[in-house]
Structure 1
Amino acid sequence: MTDVIRVLIVEDEPLTAEAHAAYVSRLDGFTVVGSAGTGRAMLAAVASEQPDLVLLDFDLPDAHGLQLVRALRAAGSAVDVIAVTAAHDARGVKNALALGIVQYLVKPFSFRTFAERLQTYRAFRRGFEDRRSLTQADIDQSLGTLRPSIPSELEKGIARETLDSVQDVLQRASGGLSATEVAEATGTSRVTARRYLEHCVTAGQADKEVRRSGPGRPEYEYRWLR
């Protein structure tokens, strides 16, 4: 297996496809090798680009995602597939798992959720590298990596969606950000942004230091711990 995971994005909405490509570009160890907006284009791209992983939307103009996975398997392709879709009916999810889809992402989702799923997938792949056989413990560990732990309950007054937004802004920043700057980027008040930033500091996800900005009340800037 190669060190860099080659990703094919299958999505019929151009802006969404671009967003997913941008997400992939922010992750170490992944690279986008192509994009397809139809099922027909996807099958052709899998044959020509030989990706390691397909990020597959189910609702395509000419085919359903599950039909495409069946077609891949019938053709002998063992490419890994992560469902990236708004479809979440119980029967569809069950059928997806039966076809060997390794992860299932329900739209909409934050970058944090996207990154967690791809990172657990990468850990899953690594469990098979340079091995001719696996012990029961190896198999259990590999399967376990695909099931991220359930996050502990958030403290009172902290909403998951807002927290994801603040964390995303910090992760994308090239330097430290003030509460005011985070508030502007997330569309929240400065007080709210500061509360969530302090939560990140307490959780060990970010640190803060005084920003030197002349006389007057000091202002803190927050930086994601990479």
Structure 2
Amino acid sequence: MIRVLIVEDDPMVAEINKKYLCSVKGFSCAGAVKNAKEAMGFIKKYKVDLVLLDIFMPGKNGIELLVEIRNKDKSIDAIVISAASDIQSIKSALRLGSVDYLIKPFEFERFNSALMKYKEEFELMNKKGSIAQEELDNQLLRQNKMVVNQRAVLPKGLTQQTLQRVVDTILMDSKEKFSTENLAAQVGVSRVSMRKYLKFLAEIEMVSVEMNYKKTGRPIHTYYINKENTDRIKPYLKATSM
């Protein structure tokens, strides 16, 4: 029996997910929690094979919880069930090992399909002894099809070479905050170009931006690095432009 933890802050949605889950043979609901803190507490106490994970929750979001699970080296899989349909959320979840991603609202057939696919993989990977090459090939072929669609892609107009210089400069600078103008001068690109790179880094939450308003003139954009999110840039430094 595959033990599943539901992580969902909406009680009604959690109950629907539990109802769906209990109707699929081979799965049992180990518990339901409302946030990341409760989820980690539950995982420490009880055996969990799979997490049905929402993204939008109070406190840490689902992506941050998935990062914490991976950092703790827990052998737990995840299926994200969320209203978040933006590409960045989907990419982040898949890069962190989510085996599937369901966008709310969804039909039971899609939910059932996700669990059946996971059950097949779970049973294959938990076999005692060895796996036949044909079985492994079939499994890897399915995974490779997903990887093709998950490849990180840079926005149009950005290049890996310049992005690397921008990131290196930010990481090497001892200052806590920096401006577009200063960073552009250090990297050797125009302010217009630098704004594009900083906009992208803000979108993946590697940096955050503050607006400093003066008595006259336009407000100044001041950036600072989110040190806990620096790993988010790694896939894009190996990516291709759109």
Query: Once superposed, which parts of structure 1, at least 4 consecutive aligned residues long, lie more than 6 Å away?
Result: none
- Percent identity, aligned pairs only, is 34
Residue 82 of structure 1 pairs with residue 79 of structure 2: yes
**What residue is the counterpart of 2:123 in the other structure?**
126
What is the rounded CA distance, in whole Å, between the counterparts of 2:129 and 2:138 in structure 1? Answer: 16
What is the rounded CA distance, in whole Å, between the counterparts of 1:135 and 1:72 in structure 2? Answer: 30
**What residue is the counterpart of 1:13 in the other structure?**
10
Residues 38/114 of structure 1: CA separation in 2 closer, same or farther (3 Å cut):
same
**What residue is the counterpart of 2:50 in the other structure?**
53
What is the rounded CA distance, in whole Å, between the counterparts of 1:145 and 1:123 in structure 2? Answer: 12
Q: Deviations over 1:175-198 (max 9, x none)?
A: xxxxxxxxxxxxxxxxxxxxxxxx
**What residue is the counterpart of 2:95 in the other structure?**
98
Higher relative contact order (CA 8 A, sep 6+): 2
Match of 1:30 among 24, 27, 30: 27
**What residue is the counterpart of 2:152 in the other structure?**
none
After superposition, where does 1:1-226 map in structure 2 within 5 Å? 4-134=1-131, 136-143=133-140
Q: Which has a greater percent of helix?
A: 2
What is the rounded CA distance, in whole Å, between the counterparts of 2:51 and 2:141 in structure 1? Answer: 21
Q: Deviations over 1:30-89 (max 9, x none)?
A: 110100101100111111122110000011111111111111111111201000111121
- Structure 1 counterpart of 2:122, one-letter code: R
Root mean square deviation, CA, Å:
1.9
- Structure 2 counterpart of 1:122, one-letter code: K
In the superposition, the TM-score normalised over structure 1's length comes to 0.60
What is the rounded CA distance, in whole Å, between the counterparts of 2:122 and 2:141 in structure 1? Answer: 12
What is the rounded CA distance, in whole Å, between the counterparts of 1:137 and 1:99 in structure 2? Answer: 27
Aligned length: 145
Query: Any stretches of 5+ residues in structure 1 without a counterpart?
Result: 149-226
Residues 109/40 of structure 1: CA separation in 2 closer, same or farther (3 Å cut):
same
Query: Any stretches of 5+ residues in structure 2 without a counterpart?
Result: 147-242
Offset of 1:107 from its aligned partner? 0.6
What is the rounded CA distance, in whole Å, between the counterparts of 1:6 and 1:83 in structure 2? Answer: 16
What is the rounded CA distance, in whole Å, between the counterparts of 2:33 and 2:92 in structure 1? Answer: 23
8 Å Cα contact 1:38-1:63 kept in structure 2: yes
